[in-house]
Amino acid sequence: MYQIAIKMLMGDRAKYVGLLLGIAFTAFLVTFALSYFAGFMTRGFALISENSSADVWVMDPAVSSTEMTINMPSSALGRIRSVKGVNYAVPMSLSDITARFPNGHFQTFQMIGVDDATLAGAPVLTDGRLPEVLHTPYSVIVDPGGTSDKLQTPKAPRDQWPFDGAHLDVPTRGLAFGDELLVNDHRVIVAGRSQTIPRFPPRPLLYTTFSNTMRLLPSESRRLTFVLAKAQKGISPHQLAKRIQQQTGLRARTTADFKEETVRWYLINSEDVGDMAAMLILAMTVGFGVTGVMLYMFTYENLKQYAVFKAMGASASMLMGMIFIQASVSAFLGTGLGIGACAIIGESVRMTLDYPFRMMWFTPLFGVLGVLIVSLSAAAISARPVLKLEPGAVFSGR
């Protein structure tokens, strides 16, 4: 009987193709929405990913992500270094600054101050130079941070630091080695460019040494945002984090735990989570509508065949099984098409447009789960006329 059900399903090619496309669209939207979420979450904790050598991140007790931070007193670094089990600990500073370009334009950057001695946290430069270029006073490394056309300086020398006012509408080029920016009345030298993990939300980045941040932000008494600690051999990161927290009163988290906390922070505070939920609801609604209508039409137009089966002694459970096997076959094939299309289109968009797309192991599983919910619900609704079917009424033409 189940083979007959599959032949009935594939017999009407138009409705069969429409059913597959509806299910594939549902799988595509659910998987794409979750992959988008995973992509911007990856960008949300990009700073943590870039400093994977750190075992423990130490911060103010009120900080629970890299997005919303408050600084600690400089004495916190010495207290952390004194904890037993710490191999080394380096400072990191985060601050928002506004830099003025030579033609008068200005741009807000996230300035990241890294340890002067080790340069831990400094990015890899795209032009092959070494991060040691930051040892020069007032030198910085710039990074687009997921933005485009934000790091532009005038092409012509006459348009740089002009005496006759701002030259805002002049031809520009990308910032390069040796260019200058103005930060808090200090001229800083671009020592290189990097291409790190794009940020979410996108924003240009400006890397410099911790001592340079003190020169550029003299009015701030507290500049220490994070301390990156490395555990000694034989000490697990969780043990070290617990020791630091107990002895200093600061918040200490392993790299993995800090990523999880950052994700939870975005889930609570980011509006994009609501957009993703709306996309999932839309996907489920559209999929349910298309799949439900197509299955119902298919079942209704085959009532005579089901009436024959019922007259031949087929039980209600057998007829239900036929309908559900049709829905299952359609769901299986449609899900494969939808997830495959999502992987191809998502990767293409990510590579060409730098879109935050990341298909992780759980995204196809949720796509399959969404399709199963939609397909089984639609099958249950379309089975209703079959269960209420009276064979005699069908054959009499009523």
Please give the average per-residue pLDDT across 376-385, as a whole number: 81
Beta partners for 106?
Answer: 100
Nearest alpha-carbon partner for 213 in 133, 131, 110:
110
Q: What is the CA radius of gyration of the chain?
A: 30
pLDDT at 394: 58
Please give the average per-residue pLDDT across 328-334, as a whole number: 88
Flag whether pLDDT at 392 surpasses 70.
Answer: no
Q: Among the residues of the chain, which ranges form H helices?
A: 2-11, 13-44, 46-50, 75-81, 210-216, 237-248, 255-269, 271-301, 303-311, 316-353, 362-382, 384-387, 391-395
pLDDT digits (tens, 9 = 90+) for 340-376: 999 999 989 888 877 888 888 888 988 888 888 888 8
Distance, in Å, from the CA atom of 398 to the CA atom of 389, rounded to the nearest integer, reads 11
Residue 228, H or E segment: strand 226-231
- Tokens 């910032």, residue? 175
- The number of beta carbons lying within 10 Å of the beta carbon of residue 324 is 19
pLDDT digits (tens, 9 = 90+) for 139-154: 999 999 989 889 999 9
Distance, in Å, from the CA atom of 49 to the CA atom of 36, rounded to the nearest integer, reads 18
pLDDT at 54: 94
8 A C-beta contact, residue 191 and residue 140: yes
More confident of the two residues 371 and 182: 182
Flag whether pLDDT at 253 surpasses 90.
Answer: yes
Beta partners for 58?
Answer: 227, 252
Flag whether pLDDT at 1 surpasses 90.
Answer: no
Beta partners for 99?
Answer: 107, 183
Q: Which of the residue ranges 155-169, 245-259, 298-312 would you say has the lowest mean pLDDT?
A: 298-312
Burial class (CB in 10 A: 0-12, 13-18, 19+), 328: middle
8 A C-beta contact, residue 290 and residue 18: yes
pTM equals 0.81
Q: What's the pLDDT band for 244 if we cut at 50, 70, 90?
A: very high
Highest mean pLDDT among 236-245, 294-303, 322-331: 236-245
More confident of the two residues 279 and 248: 248
User: pLDDT exceeding 90 applies to what percent of the chain?
Assistant: 50
Amino acid at 316: A
Please give the average per-residue pLDDT across 256-276, as a whole number: 87
Q: What's the pLDDT band for 328 if we cut at 50, 70, 90?
A: confident
Flag whether pLDDT at 397 surpasses 70.
Answer: no
Flag whether pLDDT at 107 surpasses 60.
Answer: yes
CA 366 to each of CA 31, 188, 294, 393: distance values in angstroms, whole numbers, following the listed order? 7, 49, 23, 43
pLDDT at 308: 79
pLDDT at 237: 96
pLDDT at 52: 87
Q: Which of the residue ranges 47-56, 248-257, 293-302 would you say has the lowest mean pLDDT?
A: 293-302
What region, left, alpha or beta, does residue 397 occupy, with left being phi > 0 and alpha being psi -120 to 50 degrees? left
pLDDT at 220: 74
Please give the average per-residue pLDDT across 213-228, as a whole number: 87
Distance, in Å, from the CA atom of 355 to the CA atom of 36, rounded to the nearest integer, reads 8
Distance, in Å, from the CA atom of 185 to the CA atom of 139, rounded to the nearest integer, reads 14
Strands 180-183 and 86-100: antiparallel
Q: To the nearest 10°, the Cα dihedral for 327, 332, 333, 335?
A: 110
Please give the average per-residue pLDDT across 313-339, as a whole number: 86
Contacting residues for 133 by C-beta, under 8 A, at least 6 apart: 125, 139, 141, 191, 192
Burial class (CB in 10 A: 0-12, 13-18, 19+), 341: middle
Flag whether pLDDT at 96 surpasses 90.
Answer: yes
Nearest alpha-carbon partner for 154 in 193, 100, 96, 202:
100
pLDDT at 242: 96
Q: What's the pLDDT band for 270 if we cut at 50, 70, 90?
A: confident
> SS3 for 156?
coil
CA angle 193, 160, 141 (to 5 degrees): 15
Distance, in Å, from the CA atom of 48 to the CA atom of 43, rounded to the nearest integer, reads 10
Please give the average per-residue pLDDT across 386-392, as a whole number: 73
96 phi and psi, to 5 degrees?
A: -95, 125
Q: What's the pLDDT band for 391 if we cut at 50, 70, 90?
A: low
Mean residue pLDDT of the chain comes to: 88
- Tokens 């794409």, residue? 32
Q: Angle, nearest 10°, between helix axes 271-301 and 316-353?
A: 140
